[in-house]
Amino acid sequence: MADLKGKSVIVTGASSGIGEATAIFFAKKGSSVTLNGRDSNRLQDALAKCKAAASEAGHTDNRFLGVLGDITDSAVRDDLVEQTAKTFGKIDVLVVNHAVVIKDDTFDGVTEEGFDETINVNVKSALFLVKRAVPELERNRGCVVCVSSIASQCTSKQGFFSYTISKAAMDHMARCLALELGPKGIRVNCTNPTFVRTRIFRDIMPDPALIDATEEIFAKATPLKGPESGTQEQAEVIGFLASDAARFISGQCVVVDGALLRRGIPFNYIDQMAR
Contact in structure between 148 and 253 (CB atoms under 8 Å):
yes
Helices 125-139, 161-181: inter-axial angle, 10-degree rounding: 20
Has 269 been annotated as catalytic?
A: no
The type of residue at 62 is: N
Alpha-carbon distance of 142 to 85, in angstroms, equals 13
Give the contacts of 222 (CB within 8 A, at least 6 positions apart): 194, 229, 257, 258, 259, 260, 263
Burial of 271 (0-12, 13-18, 19+ CB in 10 A): middle
Alpha-helical (H) ranges within 122-207 are 125-139, 161-181, 199-204
Q: Which of 26, 163, 218, 267 is the catalytic position?
A: 163
- The alpha-carbon radius of gyration of the chain (Å, integer) is 18
| Active site residues per annotation | 163
